[in-house]
Chains A and B, each alone.
Chain A
Amino acid sequence: MITKPGSQVQEKYNQLSNYKEGNSVKIIVCVKQVPDTAATMTVDNGAISWGDAPLIINPWDEFAVEAALNLVADQGGEIIALCLGKEGETEAIKHALAMGADSAVMVSDPALEGADNVAASKVLAAAIQKIGEADLVLFGQQSVDTDTGLLPVQTARLLKWPSLTLVSKFESVNPGDGKIQVLRSMEEAGQIVDSSLPAVVSVTKDYGEPRYPSFMGIRKASKAEYPVWSLADLGIETPSSSIAWPEVTEPVQKEIVTEIIEGETPEEKAKSLVEKLIAEKVL
């Protein structure tokens, strides 16, 4: 069930979100709802459609939730799932709760329809500030729908917090000292980074497989209540988007020619393949 600010749920949420002791860590995990990755995407009259395929939590965000769960399991604390989306679209939040997040906040406002990354980051930054006292804000590396990977950085900039992207391991997180050390995994190399807290972190899939929701978690999540904040609740105006999508088109269809490499022996086939690759300037 979804409730509005001022309700009992909101009060309960306020009490929970003030909890903090020792080296425990307060983590906000930003989760997003996206079309099922198995859905067939089409462009219909300039609009993207995925038919009646269900919405799911952005698969990258599951790694962020997993990281948060492990950090809290190790050193105590709490996890708040934060989602920006339409009020009825509960899947991302419910999934995060079923995985083990303690509570959730939804930010939803009709004025945010079609918001781009810049606008979304302003809303998320305001919500993070309203939740308050976070040590870490975790994001998935990117979302599978818009695929920009920019939101963690944009949000960090607005919060004026360090941005640690492509993190695959948390070496140490010390809210008491205000310090964090992480391993960033890039294509070229790994990089150990020391930074201050609070910080915004995007988590890669190299972190490790996210857990499935447990049956107990599912029961808890299906009955969970959480506040839904509007832009007015956050005390901000409708942020303007810098990007518009004046036209959406299907990708250009490529003609693919398949050729079976013939040969009597594997060596002969391999030789023939290499020759063709050289002729096509692939090698």
Chain B
Amino acid sequence: MDFGLSEEHQMVQRMVRGFAAKEVLPTIQEQDRVGGMAPFIIPRMAELGILGMTIPVKYGGQGMDYISLGLVSEELEFIDTSLRVVISVHNGLTCLTLLQWGSEEQKENYLVPLSKGEKIGCGAFTEPGAGSDFAHIQATAKKDGKDYILNGEKMWISLATVANFAVVTVRTDQKTDQAYRGLSTFLVDLDSPGITRGDIHGKLGVRAGSTGWINFQDVRVPAENLLGEEGEGFKVTMSAFDSGRYTVAAGATGLIRASLEASTSYAGERNAFGGKISDFQLIQAKIARMALDYQAARLLYLKAGWLKNQGVRNTRETSAAKWYATDASFRAAAEAVQIHGAYGFSDEYPVERFMRNAKGAMIYEGSNEIQSLIQADYALDKRRDKKIRRELPSYDHQTWISGPGKI
């Protein structure tokens, strides 16, 4: 067993840390105040190769492994959640889902430009009336000749107004015995006629990010854009969540670290009752808990990443990592606000932003209540991973960094 990061991993970590600290940190507090994503963020991430980092070179990516994806997510959310959300949505929900389920033609047409950052992708799954109860989504697609006609509305979609393509899951069969069996997933060009979209304002957190809605009104989508087979939409979507949740877990770990560093720094400077507040045991207890949570969350996501590298199904581990890290990140950020006292209540310090941002991840990509049910089902042997038709490819260094070779 080796708990050390490779030299390559450490260099990736430092590179992304440098980008986020140098180019985003100086303006993030103001951007969060103003709202919306700074226009330079996504083009710059594309330029640095971050948007296709964990995709094989033959599909336009950088050929880095899943551990690197986790480390990058951690570094990005250390600065701001909005940065990591780009990774979760573009890399996790879109690119990796295409890598797992896409045909060679779909990979060529969609994955290559997405990996290169020439196009941006998002995952359109949640609806105004269905989030955790995903099997009961209402949006539909009906076969019409060689096309499908999509209708319905998707909501709380990160990058909704920024993306060019969306991975969209809708109902194609109303008559199945189990609701989840009637779903199918499509790759949809968001410039298609009949699509309207907009941003959602007034969010508690991730204000420097893009969250919106997408409406489909008789949108014609070619049948060759079906991702997976008809009726496989639930499995495709759950696979997407296995990828997305991994980055959410790793990102939340970065947020714990950010809260921890802000707290140790402030506690070492702030005087009260004739001493530094870092000398007081009640403050120390809060900091100790953050440090412990950081270690635990990190180990959980790295294990999930390691399993992904091996090509081993990791729904259980990824769900556990997401649940633990996001709960712990909110706890850490809230305690960081408490340690900062009245200053923590103002946006003079970043910890109030951390706390607002942390809350969202307890809700999206499967609420933490859903994660706890998943864990209970595994523990009670009510749930076992069944083999699916297309598994997420394992990481093979040589294949991923070279052109030829079927993945």
Residue ranges of A at the interface with B (Cβ–Cβ < 8 Å): 56, 90, 94-95, 98, 212-216, 218-219, 221-222
Chain A residues with CB below 8 A from B401, complex form: 219
- In the complex, whether B281 has a CB less than 8 A from a CB of chain A is no
Q: Assess the A219–B7 pair: CB atoms within 8 A.
A: no
Q: A214-B49, A219-B401 are in contact. List 20 more A-B contacts (CB 8 A).
A: A56-B14, A94-B11, A98-B11, A98-B15, A212-B18, A212-B19, A212-B48, A213-B11, A213-B15, A215-B49, A215-B53, A215-B62, A215-B64, A216-B49, A218-B12, A221-B11, A222-B6, A222-B7, A222-B8, A222-B11
Chain B residues with CB below 8 A from A98, complex form: 11, 15
The 6 A-B pairs of least Cβ separation, nearest first, read A215-B62, A222-B8, A218-B11, A222-B7, A215-B49, A212-B15
Q: For residue A211, which residue of chain B has the nearest CB? A: B48
Between B11, B49, B62, the greatest number of chain A beta carbons within 10 A of the residue's beta carbon is seen for: B11
- In the complex, whether B182 has a CB less than 8 A from a CB of chain A is no
Q: Scan residues 12-58 of chain B and give those whose CB is less than 8 A from a CB of chain A.
A: 12, 14-15, 18-19, 48-49, 53
A221 to B6, alpha carbons, bound, how many Å? 12
Q: DSSP majority for the B interface?
A: helix
Chain B residues with CB below 8 A from A213, complex form: 11, 15
A219 to B18, alpha carbons, bound, how many Å? 18
Please tell me the number of chain B residues within 8 Å of chain A, measured between CB atoms. 16
Q: Assess the B11–A216 pair: CB atoms within 8 A.
A: no
A213 to B12, alpha carbons, bound, how many Å? 8
- In the complex, whether B152 has a CB less than 8 A from a CB of chain A is no
With A212-B48, A214-B49 known as contacts, the answer to whether A219 contacts B8 (CB < 8 A) is yes
Q: Assess the B7–A94 pair: CB atoms within 8 A.
A: yes
A219 to B6, alpha carbons, bound, how many Å? 11
Q: Assess the A219–B48 pair: CB atoms within 8 A.
A: no
Chain B residues with CB below 8 A from A214, complex form: 48-49
Q: A234 to nearest B CB, angstroms?
A: 27
Q: Assess the A215–B12 pair: CB atoms within 8 A.
A: yes
- In the complex, whether B63 has a CB less than 8 A from a CB of chain A is yes
Q: For residue A210, which residue of chain B has the nearest CB? A: B18
Q: For residue A90, which residue of chain B has the nearest CB? A: B7
12 sample A-B contacts, Cβ–Cβ < 8 Å, listed by A number: A56-B14, A94-B11, A95-B11, A215-B49, A215-B53, A215-B63, A215-B64, A216-B49, A218-B8, A218-B15, A219-B63, A219-B401
Chain A residues with CB below 8 A from B12, complex form: 215, 218
Q: For residue A59, which residue of chain B has the nearest CB? A: B18
Chain B residues with CB below 8 A from A219, complex form: 8, 63, 401
Q: B276 to nearest A CB, angstroms?
A: 15
A216 to B8, alpha carbons, bound, how many Å? 10
Between A95, A216, A221, the greatest number of chain B beta carbons within 10 A of the residue's beta carbon is seen for: A216
A212 to B45, alpha carbons, bound, how many Å? 12
Chain A residues with CB below 8 A from B62, complex form: 215-216
Chain B residues with CB below 8 A from A95, complex form: 11
Q: For residue A222, which residue of chain B has the nearest CB? A: B8
Q: For residue A224, which residue of chain B has the nearest CB? A: B7
A221 to B11, alpha carbons, bound, how many Å? 9
A37 to B139, alpha carbons, bound, how many Å? 53
| B242-273 vs A, Cβ < 8 Å mask (1 yes, 0 no) | 00000000000000000000000000000000
Q: A56 to nearest B CB, angstroms?
A: 8
Between B6, B18, B63, the greatest number of chain A beta carbons within 10 A of the residue's beta carbon is seen for: B18
Chain A residues with CB below 8 A from B6, complex form: 222
A56 to B48, alpha carbons, bound, how many Å? 20
A94 to B10, alpha carbons, bound, how many Å? 11
| B48-87 vs A, Cβ < 8 Å mask (1 yes, 0 no) | 1100010000000011100000000000000000000000
